[in-house]
Structure 1
């Protein structure tokens, strides 16, 4: 199968590209190479004859038409999006333009191509979204595929709008779509502005490790390679017009995630005393000493949790990586790949507190 993957130089998109190539698919990676994109994420497949890169923006309809006509994909996996909530608070316009207008142009380009090809039954438009469109949960309950939408940030509102557009194109024009909404991803190649890489890199740099509020916000954590596997499973087996929630079955408070990372770093790269020798006994320093509670993000959702029953029962998919395993793998990857993350630390906004203004 030939896949057109949008946003394939990003965090989740690059994981999809790498797994799709490993599964024997042909991949056309379409990416605008904005601040969070990194072609090093797909360097391992760049020379594979089944891989092609197209530098294009999903807001550019002429470029999209050219890519569809040139490559004739069997399916679209739409991951290109602005995705950082803090940035959406400071600059919502980029999120409206990319996540809503960009999705509209991609839908129209896909519909035009699909129609010109005689509306092949096997064609799929797979839209990848987030659980944040459902809003915030209390202490109990989980999001299902029928949970009413209740977005609380410019980011989640723009993704909710894109979800509605995709459903509308399916209902109005018959475009064969599948949809997924995922929980928080983490793992290798995670851009260094999100919680887990910030914790790792600030810890290593001896800086304060910022935790919003008191760290009680709960997220369900999904290892990115598990997510890529789930997405390819939905593309292959999902029913047309159906949506699937993808979760990691790993709920944890933010403060607990931070402390787990600090404990892993304490083992893998112990801190030293000023003299350069490791301290002993109860005086042994810990990265947890750098945890600092900061002013909470405006409109910070309390809890997200995914009910994965549909994808498990209908498609036979469940996550394979536990939170403990995934965090250890992730920390080790950042320790082993300093050249990758150091090159990204000079990019716009990295290392700054964003989204703090009311």
Structure 2
């Protein structure tokens, strides 16, 4: 057992070091090494691959890698290796739904990757006053977004930065103070929180000059979390741009089950972080590939920051790829029916009340 523990521990550390230093050209080779590591050291993923009849050594490219259905994060421990679990991120979901849980064994690694991805897109956190309007997330202590933003706020070393529920007067007062400094402003808001702020009657003319100078970035996280009727992203952006006097609205694509993020400056076209890649599956076939630009498919995410859990996740989101094959759009969601991968697990009697297999 000691040699087995030493084996996974040294491999895990080596992979994390490689992810922390990786460049775009390293992605496929590193993804295949992560796949082999998790196929051996993640009991749930190992079982799933076995049920599919996958021969691990026959996988030679990332488009051949099977992706774990995201629903399994709801009912099973998804862990590679045996590192102590310090805490878990938990999804919000809606009433009556089982939340997804994502283990955190190495929070510093998650933070460093999140910071690297943000700063590669938008520059140093020290250039910003960060304002986080995240009402639904702040009501939970297990939100990965709040954990990330709390780290970003501390790293920015701004005395004006902070979190807000619906304290609009205080938010505006601190925004106005921030406008008197040399830093830029980053307002990160859950979508319904931004819409509620607009509906409060707020006059946004106070920052028109700073917006025109390119000093204000408003970013939405997507989704209404059951608080309002769902809008298309284009509708949300058009509404916010008009009411808040903005030339564009940025977006973040992330989720409880991912340690990496993708960002879109405008128009909902996301650029994945260096440790993240999106592939598409056929809507009616989880094992069919969609490679044609602009064609709708189910989003599958490779997240190489998920060393301690699983890096290959089949989501419930629908999207399309841009012509470069890297950037992508998020276009909607699958319905609530179970997908083939989960049914395969259940068919083997490994349901929600079963014990996890031992390593």
Q: Same fold (TM over 0.5)?
A: no
Normalised to the residue count of structure 1, the TM-score between the two structures is: 0.26
